[in-house]
Copies of this chain bind each other. A is one copy, B any other.
Amino acid sequence: MSLRHAVLATLLPGPQSGYDLAKKFDDVMRTVWYARRNQMYGELAKLTEAGFAEEVAEGPRGRRLYVVTPAGRAELRRWLVDVEPDRTVRDETMLRALLVSTLDSADALKVLEREENALAPELRDLRAFLDQQAGAEKPTDPLMMGLDLRARMVEAMLGWIHEARRRILAQRR
C-alpha cells in the first residue's frame, strides 16, 4: 500500500487538488509509482478520514484543496524510517527483457531495438534537464534526485540491451 505514502509526499509542498496530484503522478511519479487520475480522489478521501490530510479550501469548478496534517508528516516519516521496505518487484520492461531470450534471434533483435528506441530519447531528455539544472541551489530536491535515479536506471537498461544484442549476434555464427 505505497500509494498512500506516494500521495502524501506529493501533497507535501502545499495545498493541492486531486487534479494537481494526478498531473504530478503523470509527470514525475510515472517512472516510480504510477497511479491513475481517479485513484487520487479515493486516496485523498481515505487520507482525510485517517487524519493524515485535510481539505482547506474550495476553488473554482469545485476544486478541492488539501494539505498534509502534522499526523500525516509523522506517518510519512514513520513509513520511510520504521517500516521494512517491500522489495518485491513487478516490472513489465524487465520481464520482457528476460523473456526475449525465448524468441528466435530475428524476433529478439527486433524487440530489443524497440526497447532501445523507447529508452534512448528518454535518457537524452533526462540528461539534458539534469545538466541544465547542475549547480542549482537545491541538489537534494526530490525531483532532481528522482530524475537522477531514473536516468541511472535507464542507462543500466540500455547497457544491458547492448550486451544482449552482442550475445545474440555472437551466437548466430
Contact = CB atoms under 8 A, between A and B. Distances in A.
B156 A140 contact: no
A145 interface: yes
Interface stretch (A14-22, A49-57, A58-66, A163-171): A163-171
Contacts of A107: 77, 80-81
A2 interface: yes
B146 A157 contact: no
Counting chain A residues whose Cβ lies within 8 A of the other chain, the interface size class is 35 or more
A94 interface: yes
Given A80-B100, A95-B2, A149-B94, A34 B89 contact: yes
Contacts of A29: 98
Contact of A160 (B9, B97, B100, B148): B148
Contacts of A160: 148-149, 152
A99 B32 CA distance: 11
A81 B110 contact: yes
A129 interface: no
Contacts of A12: 102
A95 B6 contact: yes
A46 interface: no
A171 B97 CA distance: 38
Contact of A89 (B30, B77, B167, B168): B30
Given A5-B99, A32-B98, A149-B157, 12 more contacts: A34-B88, A80-B99, A80-B107, A81-B103, A85-B92, A86-B92, A87-B118, A90-B90, A94-B149, A101-B145, A148-B160, A148-B163
Cβ-closest 8 pairs across A and B: A34-B88, A156-B156, A152-B156, A98-B146, A101-B142, A139-B167, A33-B95, A32-B94
